[in-house]
Amino acid sequence: MDDRRIRDVVVVGGGTAGWMAAAALSATMGDQLRIRLVESEEIGTVGVGEATIPAIRLFNGLCGIDEDAFVKATQGSFKLGIEFQNWGRVGDSYMHAFGQIGQSLDMIEFWQYWLRGRQEGVAAPLGHYSFNETVGRAGRFARVGRIPNTELDGISYAFHFDASLYAAFLRGLAERNGVVRTEGRIREVRLDPQTGHVAAVELDSGESVAGELFIDCSGFRGLLIEQALETGYVDWTHWLPCDRAIAVPTANVGPLRPYTQSIAHAAGWQWRIPLQHRTGNGHVFCSAFMDEDEARRVLLDTVEGEPLADPRTIRFRTGMRRKAWNRNVIALGLSSGFLEPLESTSIHLVQNGIARLLSHFPDRNFAPVNIEAYNRRIAYDYERIRDFIILHYHANQRDEPFWRQVREMAVPDSLQDKIDLFRATGRVFREQEELFTEVGWFQVLTGQNIVPETYHPLADVLTRDELAGFLRDIKTIVSAPVSRLPTHDEFIAHQCAAVLGRAA
């Protein structure tokens, strides 16, 4: 077996995806691999400030990262969920909060009792039973594993951070683990004439960087996966027609919210991502319904602080490569595909691709069955996240032309089946390894005004008074500890304030 083992891995492109790959591989297989990363400082990256989901903590743990040091280094803050404004109807607001909601009882989920309680007029809004949402809306944060003296989960959290600072942080980690960085622009990709595999990349300097396995983190252009190997692209713009984003950083105003905000506008939506040193803002929109000048005006009219730079436009096409792994090239990040950051899945898809690579790591034979299995899993991940994002657009009651179009369009069967089952029964099921759990689907489905015809019959085991008491007790348990937690700003100032960050 030894003579078939891969020894030389080349990562093409830095940025968040490239340095995540280098850091993870060097942390887990550094004693078996020689890892080189090729990047050019002349080529910019897309990163504008990132929001993440709780799985990022697993990646950081895999790399041996100290959490407070990471938050300091990236000017980060903590994230308990995403608040959605104006997505169902103008004026609506709900939160897709991380973590548990309520407490399951008698083999069924809490929200089945909530559905009955709402129907009978004894239930508060769903978020009142979510510890994450209650803490987040109060502007507080702490690392709480369990609500004291209960069986209810504590706070589930992720992060907001500066993507370029995260890449720099991971670079330091990877280089300490032996990764060799090569500065240079790639002028040519050389293929092996017999296998068609990438053999080496040639730099403007004349240097040739050879490898056995190549990881393409070159961004939208897909230098290896597309320009060299012509893999092809599956276009999903008929379901997700937004094709532009205008991004601008602004000065912070007021306390840092411990959640991301997503605010729907006439032809798209706006993000707000609070960092210690600034707030990241962007307006994702469909150019068929709004021109760039108007989109820029909408963004600048609705940011909360003074702009710190000129707005910049990012163009994209939603979809994925036909193969994330082609021959001896694996694409990560924007090289592998693009799903707009509505549910903060961009970095997760990089992390997921790396995790899949580790489980499918090849030898020099590059067994086709192994590659095919990897590609099936990656495609499934993309398609299920795609469905979840489409749901936000499709389940709306707005009157503008853009929103009418996405409401009336036919959606993928896999999504329509979920919607139909929920409308009929109030139930939603997580399938296979899809990212988003039942509680996440439930929050978005109900938050955007999809009302099921009924609820699970087991929810009728309680009398109306017992149901009202059960809901009231959960609400009390969830809200009681909140005032004793530090504010989000206080926690950062005490635990992980950056040198140039802000104090409470």
- The residues that are catalytic are 79
Q: In angstroms, how far is CA 51 from the centroid of its own chain?
A: 7
Total residues belonging to the chain: 504
Q: In angstroms, how far is CA 235 from the centroid of its own chain?
A: 20
The residue among 490, 487, 369, 387 whose CA lies nearest residue 436 is 387
The H-or-E segment that residue 387 falls in is helix 368-394
* Angle formed at CA 235 by CA 231 and CA 240, multiple of 5 degrees: 150
Contact between residue 231 and residue 240 where contact means Cβ atoms under 8 Å apart: no
Please state, in angstroms and rounded to a whole number, the distance separating the CA atoms of residues 335 and 58: 23
User: Any bridge partners for residue 39, and if so which?
Assistant: 183
Burial of 433 (0-12, 13-18, 19+ CB in 10 A): exposed
Please state, in angstroms and rounded to a whole number, the distance separating the CA atoms of residues 12 and 199: 13
Dihedral sign from CA coordinates of 221, 226, 232, 233? negative
| Lookup: tokens for 63 | 């790399």
Helix, strand, or coil here: 105? strand
Burial of 310 (0-12, 13-18, 19+ CB in 10 A): exposed
Please state, in angstroms and rounded to a whole number, the distance separating the CA atoms of residues 280 and 160: 9
Output DSSP code: residue 220.
G
Please state, in angstroms and rounded to a whole number, the distance separating the CA atoms of residues 84 and 118: 21
The residue among 65, 61, 62, 67 whose CA lies nearest residue 28 is 62
Residue with tokens 């078939």: 4
| Lookup: tokens for 76 | 């980060």
Please state, in angstroms and rounded to a whole number, the distance separating the CA atoms of residues 335 and 331: 5
Please state, in angstroms and rounded to a whole number, the distance separating the CA atoms of residues 495 and 334: 33
DSSP letters along 474-488, please? HHHHHHTTGGGSPBH
Give me the half-sphere count of Cα atoms (radius 13 Å) on the Cβ side of residue 468.
Answer: 6
Residue with tokens 């959640």: 259
Close Cβ partners of 472 (under 8 Å, ≥ 6 residues apart) = none
